[in-house]
Structure 1
Amino acid sequence: MKFQKITLILAFFLYSFIGFSQQKEVQIKASNVANNVYMLVGQGGNIAISVGEDGVFMIDDQFAPLTPKILAAIKSVTDKPVKFLINTHWHGDHTGGNENMQKEGAVIVAHENVRKRMSVDQFNKERNRTTPASPREALPVITFSKDVSFHFNDEDIFIFHVHEAHTDGDAMVYFTKSNVLHMGDTYFQGKYPYIDLNSGGSTQGYIAAIKKALLLINEDTKIIPGHRNVSDKAALQNYVTMLEEIEKNILAEIKAGKSEEEVTKNTLLTKKYDDLKYGDWFISGEVLRKTFYRSLQKLK
C-alpha cells in the first residue's frame, strides 16, 4: 500500500507539473473543431476558444509559464483580445494561467466553488500535498451557482454546473450553434478518469454528469474532453457504460463485506477495461478501484 501511495503521488506530480524545466519544448497547437470554435493543446487541460467580432471567449488556460505561447497560438487564429475566460474547475492545469490572463484583460468566470477553493490552501490528504491559495488576481470575478448563458460571437453559449463529479465546482460549456461541448475533466477521453474525492468529487456524480451531457448533445456534437482527443456522443456513451459496469462490480463487493484493500487488489473488477488500455495513462485500474470503493462505501 505504501508503494502504491508513492506511485500515485509520483504519477500525479508528473501529470500536473512535469515539464516546467522543459517549457521551451512545449508546443501549443490550435485546431478547428467546428465553425469558429478551436481547441488548443499543449501541457495541461485542453483549451477551447470561440473567435469572432466580439473577441475571444476562452475555456481554461493550462499553466502560467505557457501563457505567452497560448496567446501566440490564439493570435495565429485571430487578432481579437480575450474577453472572457471560463474555468471548468479549480485544478492548476486548467487555471494556472489565470493571473496572466487577467492582466491581459480577460474577465474570469467560474462556478462559485472554484473561487472558494482557489481562495484558500487546499490540502489533499491522500497525497499529503497542499496547493497554496491563488493570488487575488487569479480568482474568478464572476461566479455562478447553477447555470449561466453568454451571447457572444453570434453564439448562445450555455454553461452549466454538474454536482460532485470530478470536483464540486465542475462546469461544462456548450456552444449551441457550433454544437461543441467542452466537458472539462468530467471526461478523460479513452482513459480512466481522475475523480478528486478531496475536492468534493464522487463516482456517482461523475457518472451523473456524463449522463446529463448525453441528454444535451446529439450524434453530430463535437466533444472537447479535459484531456486527450476530440470525441463524440457514441464514444461518451461507451465511456459511461464502462464506468457503470465498474461501479456495479465494486458495489457488489462492498455489499458482500469486502474491505478496501480486497477491492483495490481485485484486478478482475476492472480487467475488461484494463485490457483495453484504459488504465495505462494517469489513473490505473488499481487507483480507480480504490476511488470507487471510497466513493461508494457509504451506499452499502
Structure 2
Amino acid sequence: MKSYSTLFLLLLVTCFATAQTDEEISKDPDLQKKAIEKAKNKPNIIPVTENIFMLKGMGGNIAVQHGKEGVLMVDTQFERTSESVLGIIEKETENTPQFIVNTHLHGDHTGGNKNYKQTGATVFSHQNVKDAMLAALYNEAEEKVMKEIELMEEAAKDNDKEAQKALERNRDRAKTKLEQPLDLDTSNIPSISFDNNLTIFYNDEEIKLIYLANAHTNGDVMVHFTKSNVIHTGDAFVNGLYPYIDRSNSGTYKGYQSAINTILQTANQNTQIIPGHGALATKADVAETKKMLEFIYEKVTFHFMNDKTEDQVAQMRDITKFYDEKGYGDGFISTEKFLRSVYKAVQKNEGRKKARNEQKEKRYKEMQKRVKKEKDGKN
C-alpha cells in the first residue's frame, strides 16, 4: 500500500473530491482504485468563449454551452466518464445539462446518454442515429434469445425423452419471445430525432444542427453556435488525424469530403472549431484536412488505375509520408487502415471508369491487330 504522503500527493494532483478524508482513502484499496479511475476519466477544460467550453479526454470531444436558461451539451463520451464530466459541468455552470445533442451514434459520443437523461436532460439526434441504436438493441436481444434456444437444443440431445420434451417446451417458449415485443433498455436512446436540419434557440443564441449526409456515418450532424461563432463537427472532422469512414453505417469518402466542404463554407477565419477528436481547431485546420483527403485520394486512384492491389497500396508510405510525420496516423485510424479505406472508396467510385478504359484499350489492341493483318494480307 502507498504511504500516506505519496497517496495524498496523488489525490491532490488528480483533484479527487469526495466525502471521504484522505486518511480514509489511504486505508481503503477500493477507494484508492476509485480515486485513480476517476482521475483517469477526468477530462481537461478548454475555454472556447465566455459561455462555451470544450471537454477533452477519453472518447469524443464535448462542447458545453451555458447561460441564463441552462446548459446545452454536445456528445456524452463513455458511460464511465459521466461522473467526472458531470462534476465539471456542475462546478463550472452550477447546473446539469438540460439539452444534449449527439453528433452521431458511436459509443464514445453517446455512451453517457442514459446517465444524463437520469438527471433530466433531453437528448437530440438525427433520425438515423436513433434508428441505428434501436436496431442494435433489437439485434442484441434477438441474439440472446437465439443463443438460449441453441443451448436448449444442444442439451436435449443428451437427455431421455421426458427431459427432451421439457426442454423442447422451454425452447418453444423462448421462440415466442421473438414473436412478441422485446423488453429493451432504451435509456441510452435519444428522446427527440429529426430528419434533416434543426434549429434551437437557447441561451439567447440560435443553434443550428446541420445534417452531413453519409460522411463519417449516415447520421452525422454538426452543431453551429451562430452568435458565438463556434462549430462542433463531431467525427465529420478530426483535427490532425486520419478520419474513420464507417462504411458499416453508410459513411462514404465522398460524403466525408462533402462534409468538410460544408464546414468550410459555414466557418470564417475567426470561427473556433471543436472537432470530434483532436485539439481545438480553426478553418485553416479544416482546409488542411481537405487538402490531405484530396491528395491521398488522387495518389491512390493513380495506383489503382495502374493495377496495384489494396495490399500493395496499403504499404506505400511515400503517399502519406508528409502527413505521417505530422502524426496523422497516431490516432484510432492507422496509416495502413486509412490507405485501405481510401482504396476501397476509389475501387467503388472509379472501378467503372477503369473497366471502361480497359475495354477501350482492349478494343484498340484488337483494331491494331486487324489493321496489321490486313496490311500483311495485301503484301
TM-score category of the 2 structures, normalised to the smaller one:
0.7 to 0.9
Partner Cα separation in structure 2 for residue 135 and residue 238 of structure 1: 42
Query: Is 1:34 the counterpart of 2:40 in the alignment?
Result: no
Residue in structure 2 matching 1:24, options 38, 49, 65:
38
The answer to whether residue 290 in structure 2 is matched with residue 240 in structure 1 is: yes
CA displacement at 1:185 relative to structure 2: 0.7
- Deviation of residue 211 (structure 1)? 0.7
Q: Deviation digits for residues 71-112 of structure 1, max 9, x if unmatched?
A: 110012112331111000000000000111111111110011
Please, what TM-score do these two structures have when normalized by structure 1?
0.86
Report what 2:74 is aligned to.
59
AA in 2 matched with 1:263: V
Answer with 1 or 2: which has the greater Rg: 2
**Matched residue of 2:286: which SS?**
helix
Q: Contact conserved, 1:62 with 1:93, CA < 8 A, in 2?
A: yes
User: What is residue 242 of structure 2 aligned with on the other side?
Assistant: 192
User: Aligned partner of 1:118: which letter?
Assistant: M
* Paired letter, 1:48: A
Deviations 1:146-197 (A, max 9, x none): 1000000011001111011111111100000000000111122111112211
SS of equivalent to 2:98: strand
What is the identity, as a one-letter code, of the residue corresponding to 2:87? A
Q: Which amino acid aligns with 1:96?
A: G
Q: How does 1:1-300 map to 2 (within 5 A)?
A: 23-26=37-40, 27-121=42-136, 135-300=185-350
Deviation at 1:257, TM superposition (A): 2.6
Q: Could you give the per-residue CA deviations for residues 200-241 of structure 1, whole angstroms, max 9, x where no partner exists?
A: 111111111011110011000000001121010111111110
Q: How far has the Cα of 1:21 moved from its partner? A: 11
> Contact 2:68–2:203 (CA<8 Å) still a contact in 1?
yes
Rounded to whole Å, the distance in 2 between the matches of 1:24 and 1:103 is: 20
* SS in structure 2 of the partner of residue 136 of structure 1: coil
CA offset at residue 275 of structure 1?
Answer: 2.6
- Number of corresponding residues: 272
Output the amino acid matched with 1:25: A
Report the TM-score, using the length of structure 2 for normalisation: 0.69
Report if the CA contact (8 A) 2:229-2:272 is conserved.
yes
Contact 1:249 1:269 in 2 (8 A): yes
Distance of 1:90 and 1:221 partners within structure 2? 26
Relative to its length, the structure with more strand (as a share) is: 1
Deviates more, 1:20-29 or 1:216-225: 20-29
In 2: Cα distance, 1:82 partner to 1:41 partner: 17
Q: One-letter code of the match for 1:28?
A: P
**Secondary structure of 1:178's match?**
coil
Which stretches in structure 1 are left out of the alignment for 5+ residues? 1-19, 124-133
Give the match's secondary structure for 2:279. coil
- Higher helix proportion (structure 1 or 2): 2
RMSD after superposition = 2.0
How much identity, in percent, do the aligned residues show? 39
Is the contact between residue 87 and residue 108 of structure 1 (CA under 8 Å) also seen in structure 2? yes
In structure 2, what is the Cα distance between the partners aligned to 1:76 and 1:145?
A: 35
**4+ runs deviating over 3 angstroms:** none
> What runs of 5+ residues in structure 2 fail to find an aligned partner?
1-33, 140-183, 351-379
